Structure 1
Amino acid sequence: MACGLSLVKYILFLFNLLCAICGILLIIFGALLFSNIHSLDDFKDALETQQIPIALIVLGSVVLLISFFGCCGAIRESYCMSMTYSIFLFILMIAQLTLVVYMFIAKEDYLKHMEHVVDRAWDRRTQKADYMDGLQIGFKCCGNRDYRDYTYQGFVPATCCEDASRCSVETAYKNGCKQTFVRFWDKNSDIIKYAGLIIAAIEFVGFIFSCCLANNIRNYRRRSAY
């Protein structure tokens, strides 16, 4: 029994080490997403565009914390800590699967909302805070649909070019901001969904092992008492 207990204990420890790495990757990915849209901080809908990156950072932090807790429970061979870790891991797995299912169901609506974000920025481009400039600099795009949206002005803004000092129709970014912005979220939402499924599967394996460890600890201590 002691040999089996040690085997499960070290497998669970290695599993939590893997989960900790996944948590760190989630934090890094969320931070990268957040930095890419940071230029929209003053935009009215910026909070909505930042919800996914913030959720990833929070989720990664929770995974990292729970993994640390699981490592301690495994090494100390504590039944209470192992069961508490199992419950937290199960709750986290359910919450994560709920988020993934939501992203599968609501993806089209979310992408349409991102289109409206760009439309509003375009409509308000003449206000004091030029939100289109933030989009064009951050996503290397020009205009709402494409650079030809500016042709009625006879010029394109400096934020539409890599070299702001020599910006013209010929050197402007050809892709429109609406298409670029929506493609950005479309691509990253797919990454988030499938990565979430993989991590949830890993968490389920960890849940099984943690339950086995807790059961082995309880049985081993009962038999040792006699």
Structure 2
Amino acid sequence: MREISALRLQLHLLAVYILLGAGGLMMVVGFFGCFGAIRESQCLLASFFACLLIIFGAEITAGVFGFLNKEQIAEEIQKFYSDSIADNNINGTAIVLIYHKTLNCCGATNFEKNPELCPDQTEDTDCHTAILNFFDEKLLIIGYIGIGIAGVMIIGMIFSMVLCCAIRNSREVI
């Protein structure tokens, strides 16, 4: 049991490190675009375009992977919820309470409801069903947000290439 908690902590720390790395990468990409436009540097603007293209490809890959593996992702979240119920420590209880409050559900199945974890619960929905319903309802919203972000990235790539070509053409004239 203790090994599972240590593994879960390592996975959470890995997620934090990935988010920190992504934030640092976005700062570098923003620097390339901003400083390249200010200094009229073709190299920095081309680097900005290349970074946006790589991030765009990663977003498309993650979106396709998430859409194709929707059921497995929902199962992993259900398993995480069930493991949190099995943990009788304060972290497991806090995670379960967040699930109950957010999804307005109680218990892993209709037969496993714990009145201590959801005393004010009036709904009869179990959390495994609520997780599946949440994924079915919110998948389109997540997809539309992803398409919107991809559109903004495409506009950024177009503008960086237009600016890069305009800089090259203005230097040929002089």
1:106 counterpart residue number: 69
User: CA separation in 2, counterparts of 1:46 and 1:190?
Assistant: 31
Alignment match, 2:125: 175
Scaled by the length of structure 2, the TM-score of the pair is 0.72
Residue 115 of structure 1 pairs with residue 78 of structure 2: yes
Q: 2:90, 2:122 → 1: CA distance?
A: 18
| Cα pair 1:142 1:172 within 8 Å, conserved | no
Q: Distance in 1 between matches of 2:32 and 2:147?
A: 22
- Give the aligned residue type for 1:143: G
Where 1:149 maps in the other structure, the secondary structure is coil
Cα distance in 2 for residues equivalent to 1:51 and 1:198: 28
Letter in 2 for 1:205: I
Spell out, residue by residue over 1:108-148, the C-alpha distance to the aligned partner (whole angstroms, 9 max, x if none): 221122223334444xx3x54377623431122422124x5
Is the partner of 1:161 in helix, strand or coil?
A: coil
Counterpart residue number, 2:57: 94
CA RMSD, Structure 1 to Structure 2 (Å): 3.5
Hey, what does 2:43 align to over in structure 1?
80
Match of 2:119 among 157, 161, 170: 161
Q: Relative to 1, partners in 2 of residues 1:47 and 1:173: Cα closer, same or farther, differing over 3 Å?
A: farther
Where does structure 2 lack aligned partners over 5 or more consecutive residues?
A: none
Report deviation, 1:221: 0.9
Task: Rate the CA distance shift 1:48–1:172 in 2: closer, same or farther, 3 A.
Answer: farther
Larger CA Rg, structure 1 vs 2: 1
Q: Is the 8 A contact 1:156 1:172 kept in 2?
A: no
Cα distance in 2 for partners of 1:202, 1:213 equals: 16
Retained in 1: the 8 A contact 2:74–2:131? no
Gaps of 5+ in 1: 1-41, 163-170
Counterpart Cα distance in 1 of 2:132 and 2:14: 15
* Partner in structure 1 of residue 29 of structure 2: 66
Aligned residue pair count: 167
Amino acid at match of 2:60: L
Name the aligned partner's letter for residue 161 of structure 1: P
Counterpart of 2:153 in structure 1 is: 203
Deviations 1:82-131 (A, max 9, x none): 11111111111111111111111111221122223334444xx3x54377
Aligned to 2:108: 144
Q: Could you say if the C-alpha distance between residues 196 and 188 of structure 1 is closer, same or farther in structure 2, counting changes exceeding 3 Å?
A: same
Q: Which deviates further from its counterpart, 76-85 or 179-188?
A: 179-188
Identity of matched residues, %: 26
